[in-house]
């Protein structure tokens, strides 16, 4: 039995694969997408989120921190990340729940027990379990273990991946995954490096290999204005799809839902002025795919 670190289990999810699903969010991701709406997923370690609006500056957390890691900075108490050992005392003693620990260690036995609680919904709706993140393949042993446990119970499995993981990690799980939700964010390698932090070569190679193994794949494309809503990116994705078999393409319009979390984690959000694409703009992109006979859906 293995254990891993997750930051959320979302029940009754209907956007992460077919039917009603339980989506498990793994912590840790090798990418740093500018538009990431789950910034708490990026770090493989536990983190403390701070909700300023709940803090009354009572000073209890400062007194209780055994490392002396909290000091007032202007108005609010700030944690020195270099001194903090993530003991969690400041979250336990805060009377207003102004600090919350993100990240939970869980064993594969505990997780399958949680997933299996909704087996009846999966059976009735054709749903199952989806492993998302973060990048679930960043915890390959744990992912492999929980997928095996799902398959042993006959639970449908989906893995939502950035594609950025060693091929051997994909190879070992491929026969336990009923559906890959596979992200393609930018076909231009230079822009991929700029906006995502790594090149896309490995991602495209892995996609081709999964396709040649006959894996079931939904391609997921976030659409961000001025970054990847251009004709060239869409044309190059369509060209890629002439060599890769995917069941459908999901176009995911940019949204700002995760923006507040950056402030709570003291992280910098680089797209604060960004607007979401209009329905007309999304429809125009969708038509480009339809013209090539590609099954397309706007949304997850
Ligand atoms: S204990 Fe909570 S409310 Fe009090 S200063 Fe710390 S974070 Fe703010
Ligand atoms: S988690 Fe522990 S060490 Fe870190 S700031 Fe809070 S009390 Fe201090």
Q: Which of 49, 72, 86, 93 most suits a substitution to test ligand 2, by most atoms within 8 Å of the C-beta?
A: 86
Q: How far, in Å, CA of 11 to CA of 27, rounded?
A: 17
The verdict on the CB of residue 85 being under 6 Å from ligand 2 is yes
Whether the predicted pLDDT of 5 surpasses 90: yes
Q: Which atom of ligand 1 is nearest to the CA of 62?
A: 6
- Whether residue 300 is predicted with pLDDT greater than 90 in this model: the reply is no
Please state, in angstroms and rounded to a whole number, the distance separating the CA atoms of residues 207 and 201: 10
Distance in Å, CA 98 to ligand 2 centroid: 13
Phi, psi of 218 (to 5 degrees): -105, 125
Q: Is the peptide bond before 38 cis (omega within 30 degrees of 0)?
A: no
Q: Dump pLDDT digits (tens) for 46-100.
A: 999 999 999 999 999 999 999 999 999 989 999 999 999 999 999 999 999 999 9
Q: Whose CA is nearest to atom 1 of ligand 1?
A: 94
Q: Mind spelling out the 3-state secondary structure of 195-253?
A: HHCCCCHHHHHHHHHHHHCCCCEEEEEEECCCCCCCHHHHHHHHHHHCCCCCCEEEEEE
Least Cα distance to 281 among 232, 220, 221, 224 occurs for 224
Residue boundaries of the structural domains of the chain: 3-43+104-298, 47-102
Closest atom of ligand 2 to CA, residue 64: 7
Looking at CATH, the fold of the domain delimited by 3-43+104-298 is given as TIM Barrel (3.20.20)
Distance of CA 22 to the CA centre of its chain: 14
User: Are 76 and 51 a contacting pair, CB within 8 Å?
Assistant: no
pTM of the model: 0.94
Rounded to the nearest 10 degrees, the angle between the axes of helix 108-116 and helix 140-152 is 40
Report which bound ligand comes closest to the CA of 102.
2
Give yes or no for residue 94 CB within 6 A of ligand 2: no
Helix (H) or strand (E) holding 13: strand 3-13
Q: How far apart are the first and last CA of the chain?
A: 32
CB distance 96 to ligand 1 below 6 Å: yes
Q: How far apart are CA 246 and CA 144, in angstroms?
A: 23
What class is the 47-102 domain?
alpha beta
Instruction: Report how far residue 292's alpha carbon sits from residue 221's, in angstroms, rounded to the nearest whole number.
Output: 17
Ligand nearest to the CA of 60: 1
Angle (CA) 111-113-114 rounded to 5° is 65
Q: CB-side exposure of 193: number of CA atoms within 13 Å?
A: 4
Residues 108-164 have pLDDT tens digits of 999 999 999 999 999 999 999 999 999 999 999 999 999 999 999 999 999 999 999
114: three-class secondary structure by DSSP: helix
């Amino acid at each position: 039995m293995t254990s891993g670190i997750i930051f959320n289990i979302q029940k009754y999810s209907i956007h992460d694969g077919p039917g009603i699903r339980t989506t498990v969010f793994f912590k840790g991701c090798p990418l740093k997408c500018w538009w990431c709406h789950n910034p708490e997923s990026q770090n493989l370690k536990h983190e403390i989120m701070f909700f300023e609006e709940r803090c009354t500056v009572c000073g209890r957390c400062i007194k209780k921190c055994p490392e002396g890691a909290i000091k007032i900075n202007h108005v609010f108490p700030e944690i020195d990340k270099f001194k903090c050992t993530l003991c969690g005392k400041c979250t336990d003693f805060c009377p207003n729940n102004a600090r919350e620990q993100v990240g939970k260690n869980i064993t594969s036995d505990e997780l399958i027990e949680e997933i299996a609680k909704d087996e009846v919904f999966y059976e009735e709706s054709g749903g199952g379990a989806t492993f998302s993140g973060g990048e679930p393949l960043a915890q390959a042993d744990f992912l492999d273990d929980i997928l095996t446990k799902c398959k042993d119970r006959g639970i449908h499995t989906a893995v939502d991946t950035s594609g950025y993981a060693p091929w051997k990690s994909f190879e070992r799980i491929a026969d336990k995954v009923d559906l890959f939700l596979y992200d393609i964010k930018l076909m231009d390698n230079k822009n991929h490096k700029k906006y995502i932090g790594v090149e896309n070569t490995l991602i495209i190679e892995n996609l081709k290999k999964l396709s040649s193994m006959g894996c079931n794949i939904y391609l997921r494309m976030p659409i961000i204005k001025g970054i990847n809503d251009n004709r060239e990116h869409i044309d190059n994705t369509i060209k890629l799809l002439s060599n890769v078999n995917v069941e459908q393409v999901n176009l995911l319009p940019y949204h700002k839902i995760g923006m507040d979390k950056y402030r709570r984690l003291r992280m910098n959000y680089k797209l604060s002025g960004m607007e979401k694409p209009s329905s007309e703009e999304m429809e125009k992109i969708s038509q480009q795919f339809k013209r090539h006979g590609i099954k397309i859906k706007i949304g997850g």
